Structure 1
Amino acid sequence: MTLPRFLNREIIISLLVASFPILCLAYGKGYNLPPILLLVAALGFCWQFNTINYTKQVKWVLGSFGIYFLTYLASTLYYGVSFSEIDMPSRIVLVLPIFLLLLLYPPKINILTSGFIIGSIITGIVAMIHIYDFKTGRAFSDVLKNIHPSLKGYMPIQSGNMAMTLGLISLTISINYLIQKSWWRFTFSLIAAFLGIYASFLSGARGGWVFLPLAVVYLAFSNRRLITKKIALVSILVLGTAVFSLSQNKEITTRLNSAMNQVIQYQKGHDENSSLGVRFELWKSAIYTTEQHPIIGAGYQVREVLREKWAHEGLVNSQVIKNFLDSHSHNQFLEDLSVRGVIGLTALLAIFIIPLGIFIVNHRIANSPQQKMINQCGAISVIMMIGYCLSQAMFRHNSGIIFYSLMTVILLATSISMREKQS
């Protein structure tokens, strides 16, 4: 007996969705292929989009993502710069047909969760190969790409942050298996969580570690009714073991000690050209620029002129500006604020706050552990991306904006579909 036609479509689309976390960090630009295939599939089914129930939540998602792109377009037109500036943010609009496709054919939960778990495991294995076999010093670094071509396309900060998200999503999934008392799945997903998080630490992407405690607290609070004394004891032992293991890793402790030393030296007025020193100087420059152009921002070209002005006036380190004149601000919030003003910052906050709000609301009314799990995964993904954006302009890189936008619409479509089915 053949499977119904719609079921075949659902399975194929679910497999395409699951391939995203699996391939994301399996090789240098693994995050590129699944979105392309999903977009092609979405265009093939666009004639069915009029059958979708366009609820308030769906409209809020479409509106916030669309407005974010429009702020880039308006800034480009206003300042008369090259249209290449809207190439990167166009990704956030291109995922909207995928969002609608997934509302038509929601991903199968078992396939989706398997994709996250497998992806997290692959991420951890790849990171360990980079560190212990290739001797790159930092996982996901392409410094030895001429010797090891497989390293081409990686960026340690971007990749390390993505690894952290995959690890925490696997941790969230493990809680669901714990509720179901599916012990082998719980163990497997817990191992996946450790490998994903460990990969982030091996990358040395320190900005990805800042919100890790917040994510753990969120998960503990969201699942507080399930926490017994036994579970609490086991959790403390597992976390303690993990922290101890990480504290014994030379690469990780070196990065942490380096960060502490750089902050101390910067406070003394020294070493402004260090990794953190450069960030602090660029942040200062962005703040000064915002004071000059608070509403619509300065645009990219004027921002460069103003950076040279701040350096000439001694407000920021001239050597840093010389080396990073056309660089982003290493903070997505300050980047959008300085380039597109309060309007740009508001649009940025919207693509965080609206999805996060949907996940929280849907989690509150969910009546099944699976629904709660999906919404917790979505909330974790958004929370962690907010943390990453504090020390990196994630959306100024192809990997960052694709990862966040596609991950968000996958989990949003699943969450909204489950809510509609419940109703």
Structure 2
Amino acid sequence: MLNKRYSFGYLFVNTAVSIYFLSIFLFKRSYNIAPALLILAALILFIISKERKNIFKFNNEQKTLALSYLFYFATLAFSVLFHHGKLNELDNPSRILLFLPIIPLLVNYKLSFHILIKVIPFSALLAGIIALIQRFYLGYEQAYSNVMHIQGGDMAMSLGVFSICISLYFWTNKNKKFALLVLFCALMGMLGSILSTARGGWIGVPFILAFTLYIYRKKLPKYFFPILFSTISTFVVIVSLTNTGGIIDRINAAKADITQYVSSENTSTSVGARFDMWKASWIAIQEKPILGWGKQGIYDKKQELAKEGVISEYAASFVHNHNQFIDDTVKKGLIGLIALLFVFIVPLRFFISNLKKDNPELLCLSSLGIIHVTSTMFYNFSQSFFSHNSGNIFYFFLIVIFYAAIKVVKNKS
């Protein structure tokens, strides 16, 4: 009976995690399904299990992660109360606390490393296929409009870069054919990001690729680097020459936006609006640096600055500031910025500490965790990634998954 229950639990947690990755882009809010199933399962297990004290006992690393999540939520809750905001501002961030009990659930029922590193590349492949269908068959102007194209483009890029890391794992473990298949999946995920026209997702890619190759540099033969470089270069050249997804148009548009903003010819552009929002935020932060303005407060302040001609009315119309670091600082003050940095630094420190080069599974998982944290930080420089439910779930849920996977591997070894 116990073995049957364990077998069902193993099947359930791995199926649920697989569903999450494979369903991100399928339809609106499909990314909610798997986390909801796992939260419900954790709750049921806590209620019915006689071993709940042992199962749901957090180690020091998990407690530190939990504290960072709690601190992040607490600063938002305090800001909402202090600035008389609306309680629905707490809806999305409050859900990240529900992810914490998922860690012991995944650890207890053995989240599979081998399933995880196969489902991620196939989700990148699926992301690319969906983007191609949406752009060239359905005629969408931007891929992933069902999940907000900037968010979707960033998530597709993450899946693509994850897959490059996973391809290095397979290559260094003598599975070269599958490594090449995974590399193709990686390029499809990156293509999906390009077809979304979300430029912010492209900024950090060179740095993250450089980090990944540096980590695996001693495990890879010298001839691998020309292969990878030529593959990626060919991909970039083809995309550039064919202007796939309008990538050249987007780059030229960004240059034009900057030129028009500097000359004050037109500040109501995509890039110009960001510059204006950041300028308004800098002015506001200097006035209320500690506790910030709150969501409504900064919106009203931008309206005031627009009337004074400091920023454009177009920039003043945005609810968030297209930079999570600035957005949290101007709304919640320096305390909010510190809390935001904590949810990056705490898991990053954990992943770096587990970067064991003598254990290929730990090396791969820790690298994935580092890539996840750093890429999300890059996204947040040009987008308020956590202002959307999809971004909250993608970042915080994957942190939980990588934490649990590392714990399972360490327990096994």
Q: What TM-score range do you get, normalising by the shorter chain?
A: over 0.9
| Structure 1: gaps spanning 5 or more residues | 142-152
Q: Which residue number in structure 2 is paired with residue 341 of structure 1? A: 333
Q: CA deviation at 1:171?
A: 1.1
After the TM superposition, which of the residue ranges 42-51 and 171-180 deviates more from structure 2? Answer: 42-51
1:229 matched to 2:222: yes
**One-letter identity of the residue aligned with 2:234:** T
The partner residue of 2:96 within 89, 92, 95 is 92
Deviations 1:266-310 (A, max 9, x none): 111122111111111111111111111111111112212221232
1:215 matched to 2:195: no
Q: Which residue number in structure 1 is paired with residue 376 of structure 2? A: 385
Q: Which residue number in structure 2 is paired with residue 309 of structure 1? A: 304
Q: Which residue number in structure 2 is paired with residue 369 of structure 1? A: 360
Q: Which residue number in structure 2 is paired with residue 13 of structure 1? A: 13
Deviations 1:321-363 (A, max 9, x none): 2x33xx1011100010000001001000111111111111101
Q: Which residue number in structure 1 is paired with residue 342 of structure 2? A: 350
1: CA distance between counterparts of 2:359 and 2:5?
28
1:411 matched to 2:402: yes
Q: CA deviation at 1:219?
A: 0.3
2: CA distance between counterparts of 1:293 and 1:283?
15
Deviations 1:16-44 (A, max 9, x none): 11111111112232211111111111111
Q: Which residue number in structure 2 is paired with residue 195 of structure 1? A: 188
Matched residue count: 407
Q: Which residue number in structure 2 is paired with residue 30 of structure 1? A: 30
The partner residue of 1:51 within 26, 49, 54 is 54
Could you say if the C-alpha distance between residues 235 and 366 of structure 1 is closer, same or farther in structure 2, counting changes exceeding 3 Å?
Answer: closer
**One-letter identity of the residue aligned with 2:276:** E
Q: Which residue number in structure 1 is paired with residue 385 of structure 2? A: 394
Q: Which residue number in structure 2 is paired with residue 147 of structure 1? A: none
Q: Which residue number in structure 2 is paired with residue 122 of structure 1? A: 126
1:254 matched to 2:244: no
2: CA distance between counterparts of 1:346 and 1:233?
42
Could you say if the C-alpha distance between residues 49 and 213 of structure 1 is closer, same or farther in structure 2, counting changes exceeding 3 Å?
Answer: farther
**One-letter identity of the residue aligned with 2:264:** G
In the superposition, the TM-score normalised over structure 1's length comes to 0.92
1:263 matched to 2:266: no
Q: CA deviation at 1:3?
A: 5.7
**One-letter identity of the residue aligned with 2:126:** I
Q: Which residue number in structure 2 is paired with residue 291 of structure 1? A: 286
2: CA distance between counterparts of 1:272 and 1:35?
41
Q: How does 1:148-187 map to 2 (within 5 A)?
A: 153-187=146-180
**One-letter identity of the residue aligned with 1:10:** Y
Could you say if the C-alpha distance between residues 291 and 58 of structure 1 is closer, same or farther in structure 2, counting changes exceeding 3 Å?
Answer: same
2: CA distance between counterparts of 1:88 and 1:284?
27
Q: Which residue number in structure 2 is paired with residue 150 of structure 1? A: none
1:275 matched to 2:270: yes
The partner residue of 1:80 within 80, 84, 100 is 84
Q: CA deviation at 1:4?
A: 4.8
After the TM superposition, which of the residue ranges 56-65 and 226-235 deviates more from structure 2? Answer: 226-235
Q: Which residue number in structure 2 is paired with residue 145 of structure 1? A: none
Q: State the SS of the aligned residue for 1:400.
A: helix
- What is the root-mean-square deviation in Å for CA atoms of aligned residues? 1.8
Q: Is the 8 A contact 2:172 2:220 kept in 1?
A: no
2: CA distance between counterparts of 1:108 and 1:99?
13
Q: CA deviation at 1:2?
A: 11
In the superposition, the TM-score normalised over structure 2's length comes to 0.94
Q: Is the 8 A contact 1:19 1:115 kept in 2?
A: no
**One-letter identity of the residue aligned with 2:295:** Y
After the TM superposition, which of the residue ranges 338-347 and 75-84 deviates more from structure 2? Answer: 75-84
